[in-house]
Homo-oligomer: A and B are copies of this chain.
Amino acid sequence: MKRKPLSSIIDLPEWKSLNKHAAVINREKKHLKYMIKEKDRLENFSLKRAGLFYDFSRQRVDAKAIKLLLNLAEARKVKELFKNMTDGEKVNTTENREALHTASRSFSDDPLFINGKDVMPEIYSVRKKIEEFASGIHSGEITGSTGKAFNHIVVIGIGGSYLGPEFVAAALKHLALKKMKIHFLSNVDINNFGEIASVIDPESTIWIVISKSYTTSETTANTNQAYEFMRQKGLDPAKHFVTVTSKGSPGDDTSNPVVASFHMFDFIGGRYSVTSAVGGVPLALYLGYDVFERFLKGAEEMDVHAKEAPPGENLPLVSALISVWNNNFLHYPAQAIIPYASPLSKLAPHIQQLNMESNGKSVTFNGESLGVSAGTIIFGEPGTNAQHSFFQLAHQGRPFPIDFIGVLNPCYGQYKNISKGVTNHQELWANLIAQPAALATGKDDADGAKHFPGNRPSSTILLTDLSPENIGRILSFYEAKTVYEAFIWGINPFDQFGVELGKKLASGIRSKMAEKNKNLEYSFLDADPITRFYLETLYPSSMNL
């Protein structure tokens, strides 16, 4: 699909109106300490939809700001673009591909045509295959080469083949099947391999190699290392390796036998792939297929909401608009995600990838300079830990907007000891309630060191519990938010050309190393002086500092 170029964003009247209104919001009378006291502030600036509660009453917006933002969404036709995406149009314009992650969790009976072919049957068939495979592993029907049941899962994959599955595995650990342990071998750093090798029982280990192209250097290196390791233990890799890869890739080659091979599709990008076989295979083995399916259903519910809800009631769209507002009009360069739930500790790293890789761009979808900053730095740690770490800066230093995430019912509700009059879970909530208030209101003090300027924006998102459905909902919420941000800016959130240059330079350096490995006489003289220094420092791999 060739999209018609949109007008340059900064020339839009809607953009200009927002710029003007930002000056109003920056006035003292629009300090959050006043705005949050307005009548029905919470009711007017919160939404309860699709299983999530989203409170943006502590964002630096008033009714007019929201109205102007919704005008911008309208001008950018973002809901139309979102529908095009879920309908299978080639919204990934630079790579001429569809972006159909929503299909990977669809349970709809409707067909979905790409180039005249309904892709749903294949999606269902991969899901069915995962279900049967997981069942075979759990029943002990499928075992390793010595007949031992599998109980260690090692996922070999990096980036989009790693962060999503890790996030969900951590979030739903409380539902993990007894005896099943999961490990993530993502980094090519041999320490990552060495640590995993030191804790697994090779005979009962199943390795899941996840790579769309099956050519990612890190994943290839780790897979080869793992093959060699298993062979040295006298185990047959064909009985211990599973691949998740594109049809016809080197990992889908029948001359290289594996326990099973699962297909991933060209129309689902890595960082959006956790609801495909990428997440499906490891998560179904770790948690059971039923849990994985519940997770998909939660994601599907939020997808439908993101596509169908009117703009002003649309959680991902409203939050995307606020994100653009904070980024381009109030000029916050970063955003933190602070879940008040330890099992969500891997949410921020996952969204860090999802959002920064999707929207860390400077050009529109047709390659023109965007003219404003897209993307934002995303970081975060669970609360209350984060309070005792970097919240000093949040309160008194350089401000950044925060997504607070609260969970009403914890997983370990059986521990109810009372301390200072409250349970641990209540203590956690006391802090979850207090922080956005403190950030918004601040506190005047004649002593500069004890003065809190306040007016620091945040949202609060609530989940009832850490059910698979809710993890699916929050995942889909952030995916749709990311995509909506991109559609507002008019950038392509599905490519990642920015990672190519580093790969290319690394490949050149790798060739030199390979040459040196073959021929110790080889010198690095043709490298630039800085590169040469590092290469010479590594050979021999010891340095007297």
How far is A378 from B190 in the complex, measured between Cα atoms in Å?
A: 26
Contact B377 A379 (CB under 8 A): yes
- A492 interfacial by beta-carbon distance below 8 Å: yes
A443 contacts B by Cβ under 8 Å: yes
Select which of B228, B367, B514 is within 8 A of A422 by beta carbon: B514
Cβ contacts under 8 Å, A529 to chain B: 41-42
On whether the beta carbons of A392 and B430 are closer than 8 Å, the reply is no
Q: Are A430 and B359 within 8 A (Cβ)? A: no
Chain B residue nearest to A353 (CB atoms) is B389
Q: How far is the CB of A428 from chain B (nearest CB, A)?
A: 5
Q: Known interface pairs A394-B360, A538-B408. Does A424 touch B188 (Cβ–Cβ under 8 Å)?
A: yes
A361 touching B426, Cβ below 8 Å: no
Chain B residues, CB < 8 A from A188: 384, 424, 427-428, 431
Measured CA separation A195–B173 after assembly (Å): 9
Q: CB of A472 within 8 A of chain B? A: no
Q: A158 at interface (Cβ–Cβ under 8 A)?
A: yes
Query: Which of chain A's residues 373-391 have a Cβ closer than 8 Å to chain B?
Result: 373-379, 381-385, 387-391
One of B373, B394, B425 near A398 (C-beta < 8 A): B373
Q: Is the CB of B513 within 8 A of A422?
A: yes
Complex partner residue of A530 from B36, B453, B531, CB under 8 angstroms? B36
User: Measured between alpha carbons, how far is A101 from B415 in the docked complex, in Å?
Assistant: 37
Find A449's partner among B363, B449, B542 (CB 8 Å cutoff): B363
Instruction: Indicate the member of A194, A349, A418, A435 with the most B CB atoms within 10 Å.
Output: A194
Q: Cβ of A537 and Cβ of B431 under 8 Å apart?
A: no
In angstroms, Cα B525 to Cα A188, docked, is 56
CB-CB < 8 A to A453: which residues of B?
A: 362
The yes or no answer to A124 lying at the interface (CB within 8 A) is no
**Interface membership of A71, Cβ < 8 A:** no
Cα–Cα, bound, A538→B422 (Å): 13
Residue A543 interfacial (CB < 8 Å)? yes
Contact between B497 and A450, CB atoms less than 8 A apart: yes
Chain B residues with CB below 8 A from A413, complex form: 190
Please state if B424 and A388 are interface contacts (CB–CB under 8 Å): no
Instruction: Please give, as numbers and ranges, the residues of chain B lying within 8 Å of A395 by CB-CB distance.
Output: 360, 498-499, 501-502
Interface 0/1 of A338-352, CB less than 8 Å to B: 001111000001001
Asked if A114 lies at the interface with its beta carbon under 8 angstroms from chain B, I say: no
State A451–B498 Cα separation when bound (angstroms).
8
CB pairs A–B below 8 angstroms (13 shown): A42-B529, A218-B427, A228-B417, A349-B381, A359-B393, A360-B395, A360-B398, A377-B379, A408-B538, A420-B510, A421-B517, A429-B538, A434-B502
Given contacts A187-B384, A421-B513, A427-B510, 20 further A-B contacts (CB under 8 A): A37-B528, A42-B529, A94-B449, A159-B388, A163-B389, A190-B411, A190-B423, A191-B341, A193-B415, A217-B420, A218-B388, A222-B424, A333-B333, A352-B381, A356-B393, A360-B396, A361-B397, A362-B396, A422-B510, A452-B498
